[in-house]
Amino acid sequence: MSVTTTPHLNFRGDARAALEFYHSVFGGQLTVVTNEDAYSVERPEEAGQVKFGQVLGGNGFSVMAYDVPASVSYDQGDKSSFVSVRGDSAEEITGLWDRLADGSTVLQDLAPSAFSPAYGMVQDRFGVVWVLDVAVAYDPAG
């Protein structure tokens, strides 16, 4: 048996644009099912909004998203969650960073840190905060 964890991001009308952006950054397969596709239109103006969406990268990256219907309360909040992307090398993380930071607000420049050869944080144009770093083994003695 195996278990995977996938961030599921909630939006109010921006899920398709966000998923398309993440697909452009991470690659892989993009799936978008609208309310109309799923025969679950509550309001005509929400027919084209995302009922189910995901990006599955060949490198293990995955993210899901949907548009919260207007009939349901929604408040993204301030830093309610971070999406962490960890890679094997600074080169890999730098390539992702360069694409993800485009149009985003840099909260912490991508640079070496005390715990990683490369660490940075951005808030994308959809309000999602991303933390990117190179995964290294933890040394409790060090």
Chain segment 9-23, per-residue pLDDT in tens: 999 999 999 999 999
CATH number at residue 112: 3.30.720.110
Question: Is the domain of 86 the same as that of 35?
Answer: no
What is the count of structural domains for the chain? 2
- Distance in angstroms (rounded) separating the CA atoms of residues 49 and 12: 9
Digit-coded pLDDT (tens) for 57-92: 999 999 999 999 999 998 888 767 899 999 999 999
Is residue 16 in a domain?
yes
Using DSSP's 3-state secondary structure scheme, residue 109 falls into: strand
Beta-carbon contacts of 89 under 8 Å, excluding residues fewer than 6 positions away, are 134
Domain membership of residue 91 (yes or no) is: yes
In DSSP notation, 106-120 reads EEEEEE--SS-SSEE
pTM: 0.86
**pLDDT of amino acid 50:** 96
